[in-house]
Amino acid sequence: MFYSSCEKSAHRRVERIGLLLLTMLLLVSGRAAHAQVAPYAMLSLGHYSGLGVGPGTAPTQSNGITSRGGTFGIFYDRYHAGPLGVGADMRAIIENSSNSGPYGNKTAGFLIGPRATINTVVLPFRPYVQVEIGGIGTNNGTQPNKDTHFGYQFQFGADYTLIPHVAARAEYGVGQLSTDGGKHTLQTFGLGLVVRL
């Protein structure tokens, strides 16, 4: 059968549209197949510093407190494009140490935000970065109760696969907590386990 030039052009357009739709379908189904939910738990160490922080520190002096405890959360990596994954993370921080004054050092909070990860095909680890916002409370090392304020944190880490669906995690986070006395630095260090469902 012979086609005119207009018919050939229309036929090519239909083929291209079909190919484009097939490619989009494969991408969407591939993304859904790689979506991943993973709860995790870490032993964590928090360091909170700034003006007036710590027992016996004057409001104009800078000092810090350190608290120990745990960080518990879950992440959901929804979208994947090659080695890059994008998703969300939410976590709770509960740290309490009785190590520098009559009230101890207390930090607790809830953070949520987006995350990006690199899935290395050859190596058994997955580096990630995330930025989270939420409410974080601390007793400043100077009172029995915690005052909660807005905070944010950037977290950098990596998950190292131990066995299928189980990974060890190491993480460092740094951010700020906005209080009535200004902005204070909040750092966290964590080591723990991730279970990929």
CATH code reported for the domain at 35-195: 2.40.160.20
Name the residue ranges covered by the structural domains of the chain: 1-34, 35-195
User: What is the structure's pLDDT at 197?
Assistant: 86
Beta strand 105-118 with 147-163: parallel, antiparallel or unpaired? unpaired
The Cα–Cα gap between 161 and 171 comes to 15
Q: Which residues of the chain have pLDDT under 70?
A: 1-35, 99-100, 181
What sign does the CA torsion over 39, 168, 77, 187 have?
positive
pLDDT digits (tens, 9 = 90+) for 137-193: 998 888 888 889 999 999 999 999 999 899 999 999 999 998 776 789 999 999 999
Left if phi > 0, otherwise alpha if psi is -120 to 50, otherwise beta: which for 115? Answer: beta
Helix (H, G, I), strand (E, B) or coil at 193: strand
